[in-house]
Chains A and B, each alone.
Chain A
Amino acid sequence: MPDVDYLSVRGVSKQFDSGGNAVSAIEDVSFDIARGSFVSILGPSGCGKSTLFNVIAGLLPPTAGDVRLGDTSIIGKAGQVGYMLQKDLLLPWRTIEDNITLGQTLRGIRKRTARQAAAPLIDRCGLAHFEKKKPHQLSGGMRQRAALLRTLLTGKDVLLLDEPFGALDAITRLQLQMTLIDVWQETRKTILFVTHDVDEALLLSDEIIVLTQRPGRVRARLTVDLPRPRTPDMLASPDLMQLKAQLMTLLLQEVTEP
């Protein structure tokens, strides 16, 4: 495969100034992501995952290091990757339709054109008949579906998903995970997915990167060798149980070791 280092994070560190002291959020984080793969980042809370994402999204300049997409550095360049957060962040005064096409609106694409481009995916994400509604008329799960769709419609090849389903109940979360896998398999986006949930990481990812306690470093990188399409019952397979135990041990060590 020629594109194994499509998204490349190289020696990225970020220090924040906290009352005169430099506090390190992430330190010398390096990894490569192959084009079209689904990689989860797992780590204890406060390991600097969001800082890492803000750097990759071009919203935060790192203290050191580089982030490359293909052949170009995307440090400080916002709008190069799609970004989705735990909060749906839909604009309350815009309809769902106008919210999901926000990325296109910002690029000056006409509403009609943007809507036409969105139409096939609206159905796919289970949002049919909700286009004209305002966000407050939708359930949390539906709003998060809209946020996912907005991220997909940015048309970027790389999507950063920062605990996108963290606030949802178990059943809704499972539904959205299935939708995400479904859409990902069709569009073959490159997805970087932050989560606290080991099962979620196992169910969705090709690979899992484990970060250390703050300051975040790459602790381990594991491959999830499961056939696609994935189904929830695969979580009970012996191989996966072993992988899960391994992950749990790694994470627990991170929290307990000083």
Chain B
Amino acid sequence: MTKPVRDLPSGVQEEKRLSRHAVNLWRWGLLIALIALWELGARLGWLDPFFFSSPTEIFRTAVTKWQTGDLWRDIAYTSASTLLGFALGTVIGSLIGLLFWFSRRAALVAEPWLVVLNALPKLALAPVLVILFGIGFSSKVILAFLMTVITAAISAWSGAKAVDPALTTLLFSLGAKRRQVFTLLVVPSAMPWIISGLRVNIALSMAGSIVGEFIASDRGLGRMIVYAGTTFDLKLVWVGVVVLSILSVLMYLAVVLLENLLSRRWSAEQNQT
């Protein structure tokens, strides 16, 4: 969000607003131009339609798949495992991170573990998880969960660490118990940190779900893409890619919306002293 510039004469402000308009126009224009170019390229034979298909072809395939109900089911399956893994990972991870506040020692012991676990390529574990938890829904949720839980814990712990010690002193001087300092001060103080981790985590969670479906699954957009690839149905692969892109943008926007709602509640305007 940009702050409005108050001191400028109205003419300059007008110009600013116009340029913002122009930026939006350019953004959408570029997208449309790219799609048009793709279509044109396919029709004029610059692009091999077998590999690259074309926007109209992809759209037609998507509509057919939608009508049979397959596409809809796959979207629901992937969305569900992504959101469930995201929610579980965020809630459990944040709780773990926050609870470290109660024990400096536990936190110090856990810190290098968190860093290493965070750096670990969890997607590489996907085959093991699928064997452990089966090819069904749960293995996808667990993978999405593992992708998010560590980052959520790290964000929450950073927030808990950043609590103003003077505020802690004040609450204790008012006779607060440790549990009260935790609920009244630590949790709300860490909220902006937790919230800022959500955007990254929704994308990570979706990556976990899709890779799980790549390994072994009987449903989901990831499985659809793999299946279409092995049968050389590249049109369908493109449908999968486009639908996944749209889905991830929608989820991202939903998280941004959630962020705005949450940060209004836990207004982060604590910089003024």
Contact = CB atoms under 8 A, between A and B. Distances in A.
A194 B225 CA distance: 71
A49 B109 CA distance: 36
A188 interface: no
B202 to A, nearest CB: 24
Contacts of A91: 167, 184-185, 188
B230 interface: no
Given A134-B267, A136-B272, A89 B166 contact: yes
> What is the interface residue range for chain A against chain B?
20 to 34
Prevailing SS type, chain A contact patch: loop
Interface string A212-233: 0000000000000000000000
Contacts of B173: 57-59, 78-79, 81-83
Interface in B141-174: 164, 166-167, 169-174
A195 B175 CA distance: 25
Interface residues of B, number: 25
B181 to A, nearest CB: 9
A37 B171 CA distance: 26
A127 interface: no
A183 interface: no
B266 interface: yes
Interface stretch (A7-15, A102-110, A197-205): A102-110
A78 B269 CA distance: 29
A78 B174 CA distance: 7
Given A88-B273, A92-B267, A78 B170 contact: no
A154 interface: yes
A11 B191 CA distance: 44
Contacts of B128: none
B175 A83 contact: no
A87 interface: yes
Contact of B167 (A79, A89, A105, A167): A89
B12 interface: no
A167 B272 CA distance: 13
Contacts of A92: 267-270
Interface of A: 54, 57-59, 78-83, 85, 87-89, 91-93, 102-103, 105-107, 134, 136, 154, 167
> 7 nearest interchain CB pairs?
A79-B175, A83-B173, A92-B270, A136-B269, A103-B174, A89-B170, A106-B176
